[in-house]
Structure 1
Amino acid sequence: MTCETILYDYWRSSASYRVRIALNLVGESYRSVPVDLVAKVHRASEHLARNPQGLVPVLDIDGQRFNQSLAIIEYLAETRPESGFLPNDAIGRQRVRALSYAIAMDIHPVCNLGVVAHVMEAAPDGEIARRAWMQKFIGEGLAAFERLLDHPATGAFCHGDTPTMADICLMPQVYNARRWEVDLSRCPRIVAIDAHCAEIDGFARAHPDRAKP
């Protein structure tokens, strides 16, 4: 019996965006079930039963249920080895993981919905505070990431000339940067890699504008 692949996600969630890209790149058909973060559906008992952290994405695949986007991507890398999400050599895998973590563990957490909502509540003008916060932390994070790309292993993509987990993490963060009008003039490598990714159907179909309910 074939188990249906179901992705519980939110269209603007960076972590969900990553998993949509990964599923598309491995050719995995899935059904999307929206979880509206703005309406706080992620805090409802139905979703908490899926993930006690109240986060997205949650992925039902291969008869199992998984959360945490990078763990999901690594699962796909292990079970669909043709994906190329992680290099074959240990040094390459370390570099791709380090690049991925720089975004998913350093930039993303301080810019997620819960953190920024708290910042807005504490500020006299929440919208001004949110924009300044996003521009500062996304801008500084991507500027550092640009320097990490100054490496012999960087090619058309973050590591070599085919997309890896690092590119899957980078593209949603560039989307966020543009949404919040972050100055990317200091990040020519990032802009070039984002352009290469945008030409690939699996990345393009995962874009929030196409995932919006």
Structure 2
Amino acid sequence: MQLHNFFNSSTSYRVRIALALKGVPFDYVPVNIRTGEHRDAKYVNQLNPSAAVPALIDGDFSLGQSLAIIDWLDARFPEPRLIPADRDLRARVLELSYLIACDIHPVNNLRVLRYLETELNVTAEQKSAWYRHWIAEGMAGVERLLGKYGTGLWCFGDAPTLADCCLVPQMANALRMGCDLDTYPLSLAVYRRASTHHAFAAAAPALQPDCATP
């Protein structure tokens, strides 16, 4: 099994966490999204038509989109489950995961930030303000969900789920971008707990082989 990914990509980070939680070995194949390797014709045509990372390759099967990959991993390697079988808990986990993956991440990823700079000619200060605004909007919602429905040591219960796989990378990137997250204590508690968990630690950007990529 191969994972084509980039060390600092939060979507790649999500899948690395899921693989580590399930104890599934994989070959790490770096794709430098800063230099546009994800748009290379061979990569797009053969591995990921979305021209994005990550891409999971298992024999003749290839799959992009991190949430689809993690759902597939849950079906292929059922334990530990990351998307709960219980109807209501499943919906709650997906609610928070989608808030991060669909509301926060798309407006703050690399291609959007680059477009702001290169096509709209925003200043560095304006770009940072954009990033902070959408983090604040989204994380406020995450915090409210955790405050109303969160239970246990992790987002929803005493074991990590897809929600934690999505939350931790988003928090890491927000901190890297200089966002103040102190107003989200429930989210920070999950993030800090993850920093001491072997699977989350193994998936961290700093430990990936392409970490020094310019």
Q: Specify the TM-score bucket, using the shorter chain as the normaliser.
A: over 0.9
TM-score by length of 1: 0.93
Over residues 35-81 of structure 1, what are the superposed CA-to-partner deviations in whole Å (9 max), with x where a residue is unaligned?
Answer: 11111111111211211221010001265211110011111112222
Q: Does 1:72 align with 2:69?
A: yes
2:58 maps to what in 1?
Answer: 61
Query: Do the aligned partners of 1:16 and 1:56 also contact (CA within 8 Å) in 2?
Result: yes
Distance 1:159 1:68 in 2: 23
Instruction: Please state how far the C-alpha of 1:131 moved relative to its aligned partner.
Output: 1.4
Over residues 141-170 of structure 1, what are the superposed CA-to-partner deviations in whole Å (9 max), with x where a residue is unaligned?
Answer: 112110110124422111111100000000
Distance 1:116 1:80 in 2: 36
Query: Do the aligned partners of 1:119 and 1:129 also contact (CA within 8 Å) in 2?
Result: no
Query: Do the aligned partners of 1:99 and 1:145 also contact (CA within 8 Å) in 2?
Result: yes
Aligned amino acid, residue 176 of structure 1: N
What secondary structure is seen at the aligned counterpart in 1 of 2:163? helix
2:8 maps to what in 1?
Answer: 12
Q: Does 1:117 align with 2:114?
A: yes
Query: Do the aligned partners of 2:116 and 2:122 also contact (CA within 8 Å) in 1?
Result: no
Query: Do the aligned partners of 2:50 and 2:64 also contact (CA within 8 Å) in 1?
Result: no
2:100 maps to what in 1?
Answer: 103
Among 202, 208, 212, the alignment partner of 1:211 is 208
Aligned amino acid, residue 157 of structure 2: G
1:193 maps to what in 2?
Answer: 190
Shifted more, 196-205 versus 162-171: the winner is: 196-205
Question: Cα gap change, 1:48/1:62 in structure 2, threshold over 3 Å: closer, same or farther?
Answer: closer
Instruction: Please state how far the C-alpha of 1:139 moved relative to its aligned partner.
Output: 2.1
Unaligned runs of 5+ in 2: none
Instruction: Please state how far the C-alpha of 1:96 moved relative to its aligned partner.
Output: 0.3
Distance 1:180 1:142 in 2: 14
Distance 1:182 1:208 in 2: 18
Distance 1:147 1:138 in 2: 14
Q: Does 1:158 align with 2:149?
A: no
Size of the alignment, in residue pairs? 208
Among 138, 153, 156, the alignment partner of 2:135 is 138
Over residues 71-125 of structure 1, what are the superposed CA-to-partner deviations in whole Å (9 max), with x where a residue is unaligned?
Answer: 1111111222212202231000000011100000110000111111111121352
Q: Percent identity?
A: 40
Question: Over aligned residues, Cα RMSD in angstroms?
Answer: 1.3
Distance 2:151 2:178 in 1: 26
Distance 1:135 1:86 in 2: 29
Distance 1:54 1:153 in 2: 35
1:42 maps to what in 2?
Answer: 38
Distance 1:92 1:176 in 2: 27
Instruction: Please state how far the C-alpha of 1:193 moved relative to its aligned partner.
Output: 0.6
Instruction: Please state how far the C-alpha of 1:132 moved relative to its aligned partner.
Output: 1.4
Distance 2:189 2:209 in 1: 26
Distance 2:59 2:20 in 1: 16
Q: Does 1:52 align with 2:62?
A: no
What secondary structure is seen at the aligned counterpart in 2 of 1:163? coil
The 4+ residue runs of structure 1 with deviation greater than 6 A are none
Instruction: Please state how far the C-alpha of 1:195 moved relative to its aligned partner.
Output: 1.0
